[in-house]
Each structure stands twice: as C-alpha cells, then as structure tokens.
Amino acid sequence: LYQYTLLMEPSDKTWVFGLEFAANFAAPLRRNSQYQLITSANPDKRSEYRISSYPAYNTGAINAAEIQDATQLPGPVSANINQLVQRLHGFENKPDDYIKQLLNHFKTEDFYYTLTPPLLEKNPIEQFLFETRRGFCEHYATAFVYLMRVAHIPARVVTGYQGGELNKVGNFLDIRQAYAHAWSEVWLEQRGWVRVDPTAAIAPERIEQNINIDQQIASGIVSFTPNSAMVAVDWLKNARQLWGNVDYQWQRWVINYDNKNQSQFLSSLGVSDLKTMVYWMTGFIGLITALLSWLLLRNPGQTKDPVVLTYQRFCKKLAKTGLIKKPGEGAQDFATRAKHQLPEQADSIEHISRLFIKLHYGKQSGKDDLQLFTRLVAKFNCKN
C-alpha cells in the first residue's frame, strides 16, 4: 500500500492522476467506471489530495457491453492486418502468448521511436505498421490496441504520466507535462485490466533522441557533455529544484493553512509578514539568476566524448561530398542515404554507422569496438 499526498496544478480537466490502483480517497474525489479519479472541486485552482494506492490489484470481470466497447473496430479489417495477426498466431493462441508475439514484433522488426514521425493520412494504423514504422507512444499504443481487438481481445488506450523527477531538496516527485505517456490495457480472464506498454519494446538503438545529438554532431556543435557547461546545467537543475521546493512548501504550509499556521511558519523563518517574505524571495531569485548567468556564459564548452568526436569527423568527411544530415535524420537513415549516393563506400558507411549506434546508444560495448570505430573512420576516404 502506498500512501501519498498529491498537489495538483490548475487545469481545465476534472480528472486527477494517481498511482495504480487508487483505493482510498476522500471527497471531492470519486472513481468512475473507467477507474479514473475525478474531482468535483474547481480544477482552476491548486488542490491537495491524500490518496492510498495498491500496486497489486485485480479489476475483476467486465460485462457484455464493456466487452463490446473494448473490441469494436472503426471499420473492416484489411487483408494485410489479418495476415499479420494470423502470422503472430493471434487468432488461435492464448492472449498472453499473442501479447508476447506482438511485443516481440515491435522489438525485432524495423520500428523506431521518434517525436517527429511522418504524417499519416488514410488508414493511419496500417500505414504506421507497414510503411512508416516511426512514431511515439500514442502510435504504438493505438496500433497495439487495434491488433488486440482484431484478435477479439478487449483492449483500450490509456493516457497518463510515467515517471517524474525526484526533488532531492524537498524529497518529493515532480511530475511535469514532459512525462505524459500513452500505453495499452488488455482485459484478461482472472486478472482484469492489465497494463502493457508497447513503446517499451522498441530496441534502444532505434530510439531517436528528444535532443537530436546526430544533428548537433553534423553541425560540429555538441553542448551537453560533462564539462564546465554541464556544471552550469547542474547548477540550473539544482536551482530549479530549490525553487520548486520553495513553491511546494509555500503551497502546503502557507496557502493551504489557516492564519495561525501561516504565522507560525513565517515566524520560524524569522519573517514577520507576507510582504517581507516576498521581498526576501525576490532577492534570493535575483541572486540565483545572476550566478547561473555567469556560469552559463563563462565557457560554453565542447564535447570530449571520443565516440561523438570520431563520428563528427566521419560526418565532416561525408559533408565534403555534399552529404549533410537533415533535421531529425537519425544515424541509420543518414547512412542509408549516404550508401545510395556513394555505393562504392556502402560497406564502410554501414559498418561505421552501426558501430556508432552501438557505442553511443547501446549498453554493451568495449574498448575493442571503440578502437575499431576509430580506425575505420581514420581510413575512410570518400570520393564522390
């Protein structure tokens, strides 16, 4: 059982997020038939809730109407979709086995996670599964649910938040909009609604980063490596956490409390009134801002990562032939385009690019790989 306090920022929605499975809570919260927490309080204001959740739970059976809702399809199923479900044994296997087969399909086939996917037009699910194979969490969750429903397994898309940033100053979890996520839920007999995250099945080397490091490498500027600039970033993060804790504690111990508690809190800080407190906080913010500005402007720094520097030299060699990485273009896509333009160097380009992906994004790489990568780039000589 997890017991926690949730401080919700103002919103235009009435739903409240919490850990699974929210079991104990008080008014103005209620739980609807979709197991969402809904508040009857004004969502335009900050609100504080105390909730208890059970991480192990079983939602139980669902009725015929709910099964129909969770298996309905937007239209006729195409031959390509039917063949895919049949190839993954979705029509005859147990649901658990079919789920494993489908997750393995996303993992082993050429699917990519990216925040800048191609635009999908007619038949978006089919186009995603068989053509573009690029998308973010909503693409994968929607496609997964659709393929479950084709196999007559109740499924639905669920949105919420995954993870958060631990504020070490105040010892609380800061959950921002950047942690928004979409996943899938399937209904299984004896287990109820079970969460499945198909996005997590994507292989690490096929995840295109939110910060496009490949594009920065091609331009010769990489600015987020361990150096003096990183020290400034750490300072900025620490300052943000410090201010976040001030804001959090202010809301909990001042705004949410009566006059007596407010006075006690301010007195403990040696402050007699709110006006003095505002002056003190303004001066503190100004001091932190000045310090951060000095750190950020003192020395922007450059990368010292040998893998990045070596790949940068490789990109510069290709740039001499007119091959420049496009915005949003990953290392593997760039290699494909380079091989098409320089067919005589196709093997070398492919080998170098795969080594870069392994060294930079993979978890298992050694000195031998780095030495081979460095030698191949040094020997690489492209002639257009």
The yes-or-no answer on residue 181 being catalytic is: yes
The yes-or-no answer on residue 137 being catalytic is: yes
**Given the structure tokens 């401080």, which residue do they identify?**
7
Prior bond of 343 cis (ω within 30°): no
Distance CA 242, CA 219 (A): 35
Prior bond of 314 cis (ω within 30°): no
The one catalytic residue in 89, 174, 181, 351 is 181
The one catalytic residue in 137, 139, 315, 360 is 137
The one catalytic residue in 105, 139, 197, 360 is 197
What would you measure as the largest C-alpha separation in the chain, in angstroms? 80
SS (H, E, C) the chain: CEEEEEEECCCCCCEECCCCCEEECCCCEEECCCCCEEECCCCCCCEEEEEEECCCCCCCCCCHHHHHHHHCCCCCCCHHHHHHHHHCCCCCCCHHHHHHHHHHHHHHCCCEECCCCCCCCCCHHHHHHHHHCEECHHHHHHHHHHHHHHCCCCEEEEEEECCCEEECCCCEEECCHHHEEEEEEEEECCCEEEEECHHHHCCHHHECCCCCHHHHHHHCCCCCCCCHHHHHHHHHHHHHHHHHHHHHHHHHHHHCCCHHHHHHHHHHCCCCCHHHHHHHHHHHHHHHHHHHHHHHHHCCCCCCCHHHHHHHHHHHHHHCCCCCCCCCCCHHHHHHHHHHHCHHHHHHHHHHHHHHHHHHHCCCCCHHHHHHHHHHHHHCCCCC
Are the beta carbons of 35 and 59 closer than 8 angstroms? yes
Which residues are known to be catalytic? 137, 181, 197
